[in-house]
């Protein structure tokens, strides 16, 4: 297998540390036992022409493996899953269910949780943010309730840990500034169960290490 290179940030503000989406890819690579090297971008470099040639929207992460270059964290996790049956099962029916939950995490759950997090973290003092927040919280809560209902009686979305859980937990972490997940018995236990995995702990440590090394001087 060709050397894997992952593009990530050198540093982000504390409110984003542990939430940047390269965490998903690092976690998948750790679960798959695939070594990788990282390319770290400084402030503003993600908007440069060189990076946009790889990631049209100027975002993180970018995954490079030989002649293959991928962007979008969900697509990258799916690709890594091809090398790891524990992430993406080979049995057709279970594989299809895992993929459905992967899309659900990114399409049904993440938009509403991201919307609420954006209001809280960036626009809480704006009049429109204050007006929109109750509705945003209601929508996010409805997604959490539906997810929790699907998890009752099971440890993972498809009974065994998979890429679906990896993506879903990184989505749920968007609300770590609230008690909406941490205060929910089913969801809190689910997140704790997944985050206790050694692969997650290694991935999180790998993401946080550059943030400490390149932190701006006080």
Mean pLDDT over 58-78 rounds to 97
Q: What is the pLDDT of residue 111?
A: 98
Residue 218 is assigned to a structural domain of this protein: no
How sure is the predictor about 36, in pLDDT bands with cuts at 50, 70 and 90?
very high
Residue 144 is assigned to a structural domain of this protein: yes
Compute the distance between CA of residue 71 and CA of residue 134 in angstroms, rounded to an integer.
33
Q: What is the pLDDT of residue 43?
A: 84
**By residue range, what is the domain housing residue 60?**
4-86+199-213
| CATH assignment of the domain containing 121 | 1.20.1050.10
CA dist 186 → 144, 172, 180 (Å): 10, 12, 11
Mean pLDDT over 159-167 rounds to 97
Q: 61 preceded by cis ω (within 30°)?
A: yes
How sure is the predictor about 1, in pLDDT bands with cuts at 50, 70 and 90?
confident
Residue 175 is assigned to a structural domain of this protein: yes
Q: What is the pLDDT of residue 105?
A: 98
How sure is the predictor about 59, in pLDDT bands with cuts at 50, 70 and 90?
very high
| CATH assignment of the domain containing 39 | 3.40.30.10
Tell me: do 116 and 190 sit in the same domain: yes
Let me know the angle formed at the C-alpha of 184 by 141 and 199, rounded to the nearest 5 degrees. Answer: 105
Among 18, 32, 42, smallest CA distance to 76 is for 32
**Res 208 pLDDT > 80:** yes
Among 217, 172, 150, 184, smallest CA distance to 23 is for 172
DSSP strand pairing (37-41 vs 68-71): unpaired
Tell me: do 190 and 97 sit in the same domain: yes
Q: What is the pLDDT of residue 217?
A: 83
Tell me: do 71 and 101 sit in the same domain: no
Mean pLDDT of the chain: 96
Judge if pTM exceeds 0.85. yes
Are residues 18 and 71 in contact, defined by beta-carbon separation less than 8 angstroms?
A: no
Buried b / exposed e over 167-195, threshold 16 CB at 10 Å, is bbbbbbbbbeeeebbeebebbeebbeebe
List, for residues 80-105, the tens digit of each pLDDT value.
999 999 999 999 999 999 999 999 99
List, for residues 13-27, the tens digit of each pLDDT value.
999 999 999 999 999
- Number of structural domains the chain divides into: 2
Tell me: do 186 and 96 sit in the same domain: yes
Tell me: do 102 and 186 sit in the same domain: yes
Tell me how far the alpha carbon of residue 127 is from its chain's centroid: 30
Tell me: do 190 and 102 sit in the same domain: yes
Residue 110 is assigned to a structural domain of this protein: yes
Tell me: do 114 and 154 sit in the same domain: yes
Q: What is the pLDDT of residue 199?
A: 98
**Res 180 pLDDT > 80:** yes
Q: What is the pLDDT of residue 218?
A: 72
Tell me: do 98 and 154 sit in the same domain: yes
Tell me: do 99 and 192 sit in the same domain: yes
Tell me: do 47 and 143 sit in the same domain: no
Residue 24 is assigned to a structural domain of this protein: yes
Tell me: do 160 and 206 sit in the same domain: no
How sure is the predictor about 209, in pLDDT bands with cuts at 50, 70 and 90?
very high
Residue 71 is assigned to a structural domain of this protein: yes
Q: What is the pLDDT of residue 211?
A: 96
Tell me: do 97 and 130 sit in the same domain: yes
Q: For the chain, what percent of residues have pLDDT higher than 90?
A: 97
Compute the distance between CA of residue 142 and CA of residue 88 in angstroms, rounded to an integer.
28
Residue 48 is assigned to a structural domain of this protein: yes
In 4-108, which ranges are continuous DSSP H helix? 22-32, 49-52, 73-81, 92-103
Residue 166 is assigned to a structural domain of this protein: yes
C-alpha torsion sign, points 152, 23, 207, 183: negative
């Amino acid at each position: 297998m060709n050397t894997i290179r992952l593009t990530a940030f050198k540093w982000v503000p504390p409110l984003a540390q542990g939430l940047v989406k390269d965490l998903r890819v690092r976690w998948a690579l750790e679960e798959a036992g695939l070594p990788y090297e990282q390319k770290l971008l400084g402030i503003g470099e993600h908007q440069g022409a060189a990076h946009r040639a790889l990631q049209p929207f100027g975002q993180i992460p970018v995954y490079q493996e030989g002649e293959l270059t991928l962007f979008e964290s969900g697509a990258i996790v799916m690709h890594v899953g091809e090398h790891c049956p524990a992430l993406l099962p080979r049995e057709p029916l279970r594989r299809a269910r895992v993929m459905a939950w992967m899309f659900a995490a990114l399409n049904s759950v993440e938009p509403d949780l991201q919307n609420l997090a954006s209001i809280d973290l960036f626009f809480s003092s704006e009049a429109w943010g204050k007006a929109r927040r109750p509705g945003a919280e209601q929508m996010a809560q409805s997604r959490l309730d539906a997810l929790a209902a699907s998890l009752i009686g099971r440890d993972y979305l498809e009974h065994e840990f998979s890429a679906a859980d990896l993506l879903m937990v990184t989505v749920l972490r968007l609300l770590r500034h609230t008690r909406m997940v941490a205060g929910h018995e089913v969801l809190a236990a689910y997140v704790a169960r997944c985050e206790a995995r050694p692969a997650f702990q290694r991935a999180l440590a790998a993401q946080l290490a550059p943030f400490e090394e390149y932190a701006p001087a006080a």
